Structure 1
Amino acid sequence: MGFTTVTELEYDAATARVYEHGWQSWSPSGWYSLDARPPRPTAPNHHVMAYRPDVEARGFQGEGLLAVSTGDDVLVVGATTPDLVPSIRCEARGDRLVISADDEVELTRSAPANANQALADWADTFGSFDVRVFGPSWCSWYAYWGKVTERDVMAEVRQFDDHGLSVDLVLLDEGYQAEIGDWLTPRDDFGSTVRLAADIRSGGRRAGIWVAPFLLGSKSETARLHPDWLVPGVTAGTNWGQEQLVLDVTHPGAARHLQDVFTELCRQGYDHFKLDFLYAGAIEGRRHIPLNGIAAYRHGLRLIREAVGPNRILHGCGAPILPSLGLVDCMRVSPDTDPLVDPPSGDISQPGQRGARSTSVAREFLHGRWWANDPDCLIVQPDIQDRERWAEHVENAPGLRMSSDPIGSLDRWGLDRTRELLTPSSARPHPLKDPDA
């Protein structure tokens, strides 16, 4: 479906601002002046993995949500349902801003105290859910990256006790698996996910684990044995030195496999599931049952929820934002942070503190309304660039508080700051700042 005009606005170029909402967790989002150049992918692989695949942006473009502040009021243009997420454009043509969309949208005009409140009011109308409180957590990713072992994680658990750190959840991140997609086969030198969960839980803590449920690495045993479980001819990008393929959750065998994986992880003792690279499940392609990408994605998340039950935690990451509504308990609302402030590519969808800060701030209005926001982990060991500013961002951001440093590497300042910031989340919406303040 092509773009059709939905409204036109008079504007003052000096005061008008446009809010672009990105497709998924890692897609840049924010308010921009009319003379700004919004972030766009700098490489084809970035486009697939961090923006909306197969959609080229023109002018200002939001995925399911775009807003225009004219100075006097705010016009919010949004999707009508999480099952249908239109692309919405804003382009200056002469003395008018022309708003167009490629499917049905709703328009809401208001004059709030600040422009971000208009986004919050729209989110309240679009969908409101009970939001859980999350205890302070620790994640293995920035401490050990993809080389994590069972022994590493348990060494950190002992450090929590030695330093009096309050940690409720210990999250085993990427690196334990033999291959992407072979979730129940640990890497040869990792150890045992079964024993790790039991050891974490023996100290009164909860055990969490990372899974990219809709990805299958081309080198994985699962992809080799079950090519019929794949969405044919579709790639979710190149990562881990191989092409990433997409699991067809509408195929009966693939659906059983998906649920079997999560049933087994629950049996092992994990009750918090960080579901990463979820964008893959929404990529368009020919599936066993002819569903579009969003419908297939929501079907896949429902299958996971059926397997884990209502009380375990589904934590979205790299996830299409609007299509995840009502299906996850917490959501990464930014790209990954990083020891570096800026990614070498200059693309703020890629790991880096600057992009993680800006997009997280631009999505603060979602916290306490749709889920608990995840602004990404606190990392404050001495070699982290601008670590004081990153810690300040985590302190001011609503949502999860999760450390990801090797505790033994922290100096006195880093340890004190970690102890200070490891607090439970709030279930309430966050006070919103004026984006022009």
Structure 2
Amino acid sequence: MGFSTVTELVHDSSTRIFEHGWQSWSPSGWYDPTARPPRPTAPNHHVMAYRPDVEAGRFQGEGLLAVANGDEVTVIAALGPDVVPSIRCEVADGNLRISADGDVEVVTSTHSNPNQALADWADAFAGRHQYADIRVFGPSWCSWYAYWGKVTERDVMNEVRQFDEHGLSVDLVLLDEGYQAEIGDWLTPRDDFGSTVRLASDIRASGRRAGIWVAPFLVGSRSETARKHPEWLVPGITAGTNWGQEQLVLDVTHPGAAQHLQDVFTELCRQGYDHFKLDFCYAGAIEGRRHDQVDGVTAYRHGLRLIREVVGPNRILHGCGAPILPSLGLVDCMRVSPDTDPLVDPPSGDISQPGQRGARSTSVAREFLHGRWWANDPDCLIVQPDIQDREAWANHVEHSPGLRMSSDPIGALDRWALDRTRELLTPTSPRPHPLRNFDA
């Protein structure tokens, strides 16, 4: 379907345009009409952090775009989470011409803070789709930035002991990427990792909850899953290159693949995990020829529902690298930014890639979703001494609504970092988080 004009708006020196990115890592924010918004700097970035197979216009929101003129804010948005049109804004004949490649709604309101208009829209959108079950989460620790992909069972339990020794409040211990033998072989641990079964048991014995990372719709080309079951894969489709191999896409509409997906989560629940960080979820929504002839968003939502059926209503689904609008009603918390990093700026200059600058800007731009669609995840607190500008990152985490999750090796923290971590992990009474304006 081509783009059709939706409306035209005037613009002046006060005008700002809000671009909402496709998935967790896609840059989002308010821009001056003369600005050049972030775009992918490499084809692999386009697939893995923007909307695959979609070339953006000058300004483009995926399912959501807004224009602020003084106190008047116009929100142009998808009608629901099942169909997510691209929405463009072009400067034409002195006006802003808004067009979309699908049906949208146009809502105009008056707010001195444009993010409040987005919050009102998000409230109404969630209400129409009967989703309002927002959970509150306790302080957490994640293995990723402490151990990256080399994590072991012993490493995690060493950290659990450190929590007690240093008086750190941690409710959830999340085993992140690195435990698996290959991407897609989730029930086969890496040879030198240890046991996911024993780890979950030991975490729970410490009085804490156990969480685990899974990229449910990715299948690495080197994996046993890909070798044994090529019929479970979306043919001719790549989700990008990562871990030194091509990433293939699980076809959740294939009965065998659907059963496999549910078997994985049945077993992880049996092992004692009750918080599932679902990463690289964008893969499940990539367009392609599936067993059932459905579009990518429909396949993605079907895949999340398959997982929810198995884990039940009381275990947590935590989206990451996930299409934002299509995840509504299907996850309990959502990463709303690209990964942070020890570095402020990614070497590529593409702020969809790991780095504190992009993580801050996109997280702030999406604060309006917190408490309306899910609990936001602004990514982890990392403050060990070799983190660039660690004070600024800690301040960002402090002022961001949503999850509080540390990811440092506790033994590597100096006195300031340990005190700051203890401070930010200390549970407090829920309090309102005022929405930051686009000039913040």
TM-score in same-fold range (> 0.5) = yes
1:354 aligns with 2:353: no
Cα shift at 1:428: 6.9
1:434 corresponding residue in structure 2: 437
**Secondary structure of residue in 1 paired with 2:238:** strand
Measured in 1, the distance between the counterparts of 2:429 and 2:91 equals: 40
2:291 corresponding residue in structure 1: 288
Deviations 1:315-346 (A, max 9, x none): 00000000000000000000000000000000
Cα shift at 1:429: 6.0
2:329 corresponding residue in structure 1: 326
8 Å Cα contact 2:71-2:111 kept in structure 1 = no
1:38 corresponding residue in structure 2: 37
Specify the code of the residue in structure 1 equivalent to 2:49: A
The equivalent position to 2:372 in structure 1, one of 356, 369, 373, is: 369
1:337 corresponding residue in structure 2: 340
- Taking the TM superposition and a 5 Å limit, the aligned residue runs for 1:134-213 are 134-213=137-216
1:227 aligns with 2:192: no
1:26 corresponding residue in structure 2: 25
1:2 corresponding residue in structure 2: 2
Specify the code of the residue in structure 1 equivalent to 2:141: W
**Secondary structure of residue in 2 paired with 1:219:** coil
**Secondary structure of residue in 2 paired with 1:99:** strand
8 Å Cα contact 1:133-1:425 kept in structure 2 = no
Measured in 2, the distance between the counterparts of 1:429 and 1:106 equals: 29
1:97 corresponding residue in structure 2: 96
Cα shift at 1:410: 0.1
8 Å Cα contact 1:372-1:427 kept in structure 2 = no
Measured in 1, the distance between the counterparts of 2:238 and 2:323 equals: 17
The equivalent position to 1:266 in structure 2, one of 262, 269, 287, is: 269
Measured in 1, the distance between the counterparts of 2:368 and 2:429 equals: 14
Deviations 1:331-384 (A, max 9, x none): 000000000000000000000000000000000000000000000000000000
Measured in 1, the distance between the counterparts of 2:95 and 2:313 equals: 49
8 Å Cα contact 2:15-2:67 kept in structure 1 = yes
Comparing 323-332 with 424-433, greater Cα deviation is found at 424-433
8 Å Cα contact 2:168-2:426 kept in structure 1 = no
How many pairs were matched up?
A: 436
Specify the code of the residue in structure 2 equivalent to 1:93: A
1:240 aligns with 2:239: no
Measured in 2, the distance between the counterparts of 1:57 and 1:424 equals: 42
Measured in 2, the distance between the counterparts of 1:359 and 1:123 equals: 17
User: Are the structure 2 counterparts of residues 425 and 21 from structure 1 closer, same or farther at C-alpha, using a change threshold of 3 Å?
Assistant: farther
Measured in 2, the distance between the counterparts of 1:33 and 1:427 equals: 34
Cα shift at 1:94: 1.9
Measured in 2, the distance between the counterparts of 1:58 and 1:77 equals: 16
Specify the code of the residue in structure 2 equivalent to 1:31: W
Cα shift at 1:424: 4.3
Deviations 1:373-409 (A, max 9, x none): 0000000000000000000000000000000000000
Measured in 1, the distance between the counterparts of 2:234 and 2:87 equals: 28
1:88 corresponding residue in structure 2: 87
CA root-mean-square deviation: 1.0
2:53 corresponding residue in structure 1: 54
8 Å Cα contact 2:49-2:352 kept in structure 1 = yes
8 Å Cα contact 1:19-1:31 kept in structure 2 = yes
Cα shift at 1:425: 7.8
Cα shift at 1:72: 3.5
The equivalent position to 1:255 in structure 2, one of 246, 254, 258, is: 258
1:132 aligns with 2:135: yes
Percent of residue pairs bearing the same amino acid type: 83
Cα shift at 1:423: 3.7
**Secondary structure of residue in 1 paired with 2:212:** strand
Measured in 1, the distance between the counterparts of 2:406 and 2:193 equals: 21
Cα shift at 1:35: 1.1
**Secondary structure of residue in 2 paired with 1:305:** helix
User: Are the structure 2 counterparts of residues 107 and 424 from structure 1 closer, same or farther at C-alpha, using a change threshold of 3 Å?
Assistant: farther
Cα shift at 1:15: 1.1
User: Are the structure 2 counterparts of residues 2 and 367 from structure 1 closer, same or farther at C-alpha, using a change threshold of 3 Å?
Assistant: same
User: Are the structure 2 counterparts of residues 75 and 288 from structure 1 closer, same or farther at C-alpha, using a change threshold of 3 Å?
Assistant: same
**Secondary structure of residue in 2 paired with 1:133:** coil
Measured in 2, the distance between the counterparts of 1:229 and 1:428 equals: 46
Measured in 2, the distance between the counterparts of 1:244 and 1:72 equals: 46
**Secondary structure of residue in 1 paired with 2:239:** strand
**Secondary structure of residue in 1 paired with 2:116:** helix
Cα shift at 1:95: 1.6
Deviations 1:73-95 (A, max 9, x none): 01000000100100000010122
Gaps of 5+ in 2: none
Gaps of 5+ in 1: none
Measured in 2, the distance between the counterparts of 1:430 and 1:334 equals: 18
**Secondary structure of residue in 1 paired with 2:436:** coil
Measured in 2, the distance between the counterparts of 1:24 and 1:426 equals: 30
